[in-house]
Amino acid sequence: MAFELSTDQARYIARMRGARPDADVRVHQRAWGVIVEVLHRGRTIALVAFDAQGGVRRDAPLGREASPLRRAA
């Protein structure tokens, strides 16, 4: 399924990119839309989902729980 990003979705990506210009931005296509992932130094620092109707679905910020280096308690 191919769809065109809305203006708001494109602006959202530009803001994510502007915060870390050296980061890698990856797009994962799904049946309902796309997931945009921003990686910096091999770690995911931001995730956002865009649906085909122009919606932006933002989850809670990634915390220390997402770190692969987190030690078990």
HSE (CB half, 13 Å, CA atoms) of 17?
11
Torsion angle of the four alpha carbons 15, 53, 35, 59, in this order, in degrees rounded to the nearest 10: 70
User: Which pair of tokens denotes residue 42?
Assistant: 């091999």
pLDDT digits (tens, 9 = 90+) for 27-47: 998 888 889 999 988 888 888
Is 49 within the bounds of a domain? yes
Can you give the residue range of the structural domain that contains 44? 7-66
Is 62 within the bounds of a domain? yes
Task: Report whether pLDDT(64) > 60.
Answer: no
- Which secondary structure element, helix H or strand E, spans residue 9, and what is its range? helix 7-19
* Percent residues over pLDDT 90 in the chain: 8
Is 44 within the bounds of a domain? yes
